[in-house]
Structures are given as structure tokens and as C-alpha cells.
Structure 1
Amino acid sequence: MKNKIDFSQPLVVLAPLAGYTDLPFRAVVKKFGADLTISEMISSNALVYKSEKTRKMIEKSPSEDPYIVQIAGNNKDIVRDAVEILNDIDGIDGIDLNCGCPAPKVFSHGSGSNLLGDLKKLEEILSTVKKYNKKQYTTAKVRIGVNEKIPVDIAKAVESCGVDFVSVHGRTRAGKYKAPVDYDAIRLMKEAVSIPVIANGDIKSYDKAREVLEYTKADGVMIGRAAIGNPWIFYQLKYGVENIDQDKKREIILEHYDEVLKFHGIHGAVMFRKLLHSYSKGYKGAAEFRDIINRISDEKVMRDMIENFF
């Protein structure tokens, strides 16, 4: 089987972000330069207990190739059942286990970053994914610890489960999204294992991505929150351009809007408001623009507003 994911050049990956990295957003970043897209985090329980909403979250755009679905879970039987459901869905190239989400409701269920506090448990769940997964790739997304930093232990535990690569957010669970990212920890992980390591955390610009790759020697960068309102960062990284002109930005925003309408239907215009809040940051007249769009639900009027403002 031909390797769909090629690490001969550093990869540029879209991180899974709950509420943001839905199909329309992934389709846009894929078109404009992301090498790999990953679904929003999917609860194994929700998948196994046949949540319709969860099934819809797994759908992918035809352009998403390769495409990985990320699951969270802490019960090996339910995780196995979730993997078996995904095995039967075409177009998925890999399954990623979330071992990094710091959200209290995920953590208190024993999933996400909770697994970092019990590496035996992490190995049990991740090995279960590996054992039953019939897709090409098994991967994991981690942080560098719960409260204490134990990056090397985590890297070795993950590697021992036979994963194809690991993505690491360079903060502990306690560090949420505010603590400084520890790129040294990512570098140590890269030195400790032979599998590819993808660096994640505060990579907000073309320059920063280059610097992180150079410093950590990672095999790629994963960009999450920095892509919201700024999806052209993938275009910048892919094509090595530092500045994106206004026409390209407008093209990307409109493409995103059209994809949202196509996927979410009539409700799409209202859903797009929060994205326009992000897109309009830093523009002259942004506050007025937000006030106006907050009252618009007609998709044609909304499209005119976007074309005129940007």
C-alpha cells in the first residue's frame, strides 16, 4: 500500500478543534495548502451509541486525502467498537487517539489529557486502537504531561504502541492554552523516538513555523487556533510566501462561506457569523461590520456583505 503521508518534507497539518474544524473549514485549508486534515474530536461513546450528529462530523470533503478521524475514549471495549465502526467507513486513512484535550468534561471522563497521568492506561487504549484499526495509519495527539512535564516518557509510551507518528502540543494539561509552549520538550521527544513527531502550540505565522521546525527538528507543524480567521497560514507555509494579498484572502473567505452553506444548509449564514468575527479582526470598521452581520441570516445578503467588506 502506497504511503499517503510523505515525511520527506515537513508536513503542514490542521489540528482538530472542536466547533471549528468541520468539513467546510477542512476543505478550505486543504485546498489552500494543508497536507493533512483531521476531524474534530469524536467521542467513542457517541459513535458507538449511534449519534447522528457524530456521524455527520466524520463526513469528509472529496479533496481531503489523506484524512484522519480523531477519537477520544478511555474504555478499551468501547474504543474497540468505535474503531470497528470507522473501519467500515470509506475514505478514512487513519485513526488518531486524543491524549491531549484539557477540557474539564473530557478530562473528568478519563479521556483526553487524563491518559497522560496514567501511561499504562494510555498504552492499553492506544494499543487497542492499533490492534483493531484496519486503516493505514494509527496516530496519537498528546501534551507533555498533566501537571509535571514528562515528555520523553510519553513519547516512548506512544511509540511502544506501534503508532505511525505522534503530534505533540508543547504544554501540560495544567498549562491549558496560556502557558509558554515548551519547544525544548518537543525537541527531547523527537530525539527520544524514531517515529515522526509533529510540533503543535502557538505556531501563528510563517516565520514561527520555520523557527519551530528548525529548533525542534520536528517532522511537521500542526496548526489549530492560529488558523481560525487566518486559514491562509496554510497557503503561506505551503508556498513559502510571507504576505497574502487582499484578493487571495477574500477568495478564501468566500470559499469558506460557500462550503459552510453547502454543508450546513440554510443555517450556514448564521453559523458563519462567529467566523466573520475572527476574519474581520484588525480591519477598519470591524466593530460596525460585526454589529450588522449579527442581524443577518439571509445567505445572499451575507455574501454581499462579505464581498463588500473584504
Structure 2
Amino acid sequence: MSLDFDKPLYVLAPLAGFTDLPFRSVVKKFGADLTVSEMISSNALVYDSKKTFKMLEKSPLETPYAVQIAGNDKEIVKEAVLKLNEIDGIDIIDLNAGCPVPKVVKNGAGSALLKDMKKLGEIVETIKKYSKKEYMSVKVRLGFSEKIPEDIAKTCESAGADFITVHGRTRSGFFKSEVDYEAIARAKESVKIPVIANGDIDSFDKAEYVLSITKCDGVMIGRGAVGNPWIFYQLKNTKADVSESIKKEIILEHFDQMIEFYGDYGAVMFRKHLHTYSKGYKGAASFRDKINRITDPKEMREEIERFFS
């Protein structure tokens, strides 16, 4: 399994609560080159949390597959890596050095690592040293409060990262400030390893635009794929438009995967996705109303078939 950086790589970002196995398998089937697990706490891995190991499960389609870990203690990160080494089917260990969420930052993990280049480098080195997986990557932001894309990219490169993903905001920018694609371009220019651009990429045209401005080796798409997983189909097939029949096929595939993974309760869990998928369709309100009361998978599948035809 090797990643081909000769053409743009299309990557699904890890999103807590959304990029579970069913969603990842769908985008993978329809065009994503690489999928990443939801963020896993290295502490939870070390303490054998059952829920955590369930989150590591992957779909047979997911090759290559990356597992993203968060942590700031070298010893614990090392232990977490040793656990991951024992699990087959993981090709990449990715370090989260970008998550802006307060409880993660308070523990010194996620984007807190961007405040201390020495610490960031040490954690990257630790993963690289102990991992038996093919690749080691890092997901970063432009900085904690000031933009230092070159320093961050070079730190990751010299510590042994095989590639990095740069989200075009600082930690202070959270998810709201303007994404600075020029700053991502600066990160790309400062290193020899591949760089993937991330941040507010929500359409085919936007992805093309970001690739042209940043000169990056790929794009990572997160929130832009929720309710819009066909964005990967569009990118893979270089189509600005996507037919209703393809959309319907993707929605049904997503539904079937949910039922397979979660059992019948997957139908109830799928309501939030249907709320997003039905946006902009005629009769969406009454459709949402109806599915909010359905618990039977067979009945729900029939409603989906009918509505998206």
C-alpha cells in the first residue's frame, strides 16, 4: 500500500460524530483516496477503552486507512503506538496537532502542541520511531494564535513526518475566521514532504481553486462532505455536477452501511443525515417529519427510495 502523490490526493477529514465507519466506507467507495478514523485519545487506547477499539474498526474498502491519535505525553503516545502496531489494516498513524476544542487543548493535546515546537517535534519523533506502520503524518493548523506555517511544517518534516495536512486557520480562529490559503501555500513551499490543504473546501470548484492557490498535493474535506459525500465522486471523476441518480445511490449505500454496522438502531441514527441530505428538495419538511417517526429500517429505506426518486 503506498500513497500516490503524483496526482491530487482526496482525503476525508476526521469529524467526531460524523466520520464513522459507514460514512467513511461510502466516500471511499465513491472516490476518496484516503479515510481517517475519528480522533482517538492516546490515553483511551492505553487504558483499553472498549468504545475506543470499536472506533478503530474499518471497512474492508478502507485501504489505505489512517488512525488519528491525540496526546502530549511521549510515554503514553509511545504506548498507544505499540497498541496500534498490533492491529492489522492500519497504514498510517496521524497525530492531531490541530484540534481547537477546549478540553483537548487544556490537556496539552491537539492545537496546544503548536505553542511548543520542541514538544511537537518530540511527539512526532516518538510516533515515527515506534510505529511499524507505513506512514506517519500530522494534522496541524497555521499556529496557536499567530501564523507560523513554515516553522510548523519544518518541525514536522525534520521530526520524520512523511506528509502533513494544514488547516488554514490558527487555533484562535477556531472554525469561524477566514481560511488563509496563502499561508497554507507558504507551508507547502517550505518543505519537501507532501502537504495536504484543509479548511472550508465544500464544493468541486472550491477544491480546484484551493489546489491551484496552495500548490498542495491534495485536499482534505471534512464538514464540506457532510450531507454532500458526492463531492469525492465529483473530484474523482472531474465533474462539476452530479446526477440525482448518483446522489440517491450514495444515500442508499450510506443507509445500508449504517444498518449493517449499528443494527436496526442505525435507522434512527440516520435521521440526522437525512435531514441534511433532503435540504433544498421539494417536500423536505414533511419528509423529515415522517422519518422522525420511523424506526423500522425496511420502512425507512422505502421512504428514502420514494423521496429521492
Give the TM-score normalised by structure 2: 0.98
Once the two structures are TM-superposed, the CA of residue 41 in structure 1 deviates from its matched residue by 0.4
Q: Which residue of 1 aligns with 2:180?
A: 182
> Partner of 1:63: helix, strand, or coil?
coil
* Corresponding residue to 2:292 among 273, 291, 294: 294
Matched, 1:101 2:108: no
Once the two structures are TM-superposed, the CA of residue 288 in structure 1 deviates from its matched residue by 1.9
Give deviations 1:19-61, integer Å, cap 9, x for gaps: 1111111100000000111111011111111111110110111
CA distance in 2, matches of 1:147, 1:290: 41
What one-letter code is carried by the residue in structure 2 that aligns with 1:214? S
> Partner of 1:17: helix, strand, or coil?
coil
Give deviations 1:204-258, integer Å, cap 9, x for gaps: 1111111111111000000000000000000000000111111110000000000
> Within 5 A, what are the aligned runs for 1:207-246?
207-246=205-244
Once the two structures are TM-superposed, the CA of residue 289 in structure 1 deviates from its matched residue by 1.6
CA distance in 2, matches of 1:280, 1:39: 26
Once the two structures are TM-superposed, the CA of residue 112 in structure 1 deviates from its matched residue by 0.4
Once the two structures are TM-superposed, the CA of residue 309 in structure 1 deviates from its matched residue by 1.1
What is the root-mean-square deviation of aligned Cα atoms in Å? Answer: 0.8
Q: Which residue of 1 aligns with 2:190?
A: 192
Give deviations 1:154-211, integer Å, cap 9, x for gaps: 1111111111100010001111111110001100001100000000001111111111
Once the two structures are TM-superposed, the CA of residue 127 in structure 1 deviates from its matched residue by 1.1
Q: What stretches of structure 1 move > 3 A for 4+ residues in a row?
A: none
Q: Which residue of 2 aligns with 1:274?
A: 272
Once the two structures are TM-superposed, the CA of residue 287 in structure 1 deviates from its matched residue by 1.9
* Corresponding residue to 1:65 among 47, 63, 77: 63
Once the two structures are TM-superposed, the CA of residue 142 in structure 1 deviates from its matched residue by 0.3
CA distance in 1, matches of 2:289, 2:175: 28
Once the two structures are TM-superposed, the CA of residue 277 in structure 1 deviates from its matched residue by 1.1
Matched, 1:89 2:87: yes
Q: Which residue of 2 aligns with 1:309?
A: 307
CA distance in 1, matches of 2:76, 2:258: 32
CA distance in 2, matches of 1:161, 1:306: 49
> Within 5 A, what are the aligned runs for 1:1-310?
4-310=2-308
Which consecutive residues of structure 2, in runs of 5 or more, have no partner in the other structure? none
> Partner of 1:127: helix, strand, or coil?
helix
Once the two structures are TM-superposed, the CA of residue 122 in structure 1 deviates from its matched residue by 1.0
Once the two structures are TM-superposed, the CA of residue 110 in structure 1 deviates from its matched residue by 0.9
> Partner of 1:252: helix, strand, or coil?
helix
CA distance in 2, matches of 1:180, 1:237: 23
CA distance in 2, matches of 1:285, 1:292: 11
> Partner of 1:82: helix, strand, or coil?
helix
> Partner of 2:270: helix, strand, or coil?
helix
| Percent of residue pairs identical | 67
Q: How many residues are aligned here?
A: 308
CA distance in 1, matches of 2:297, 2:98: 37
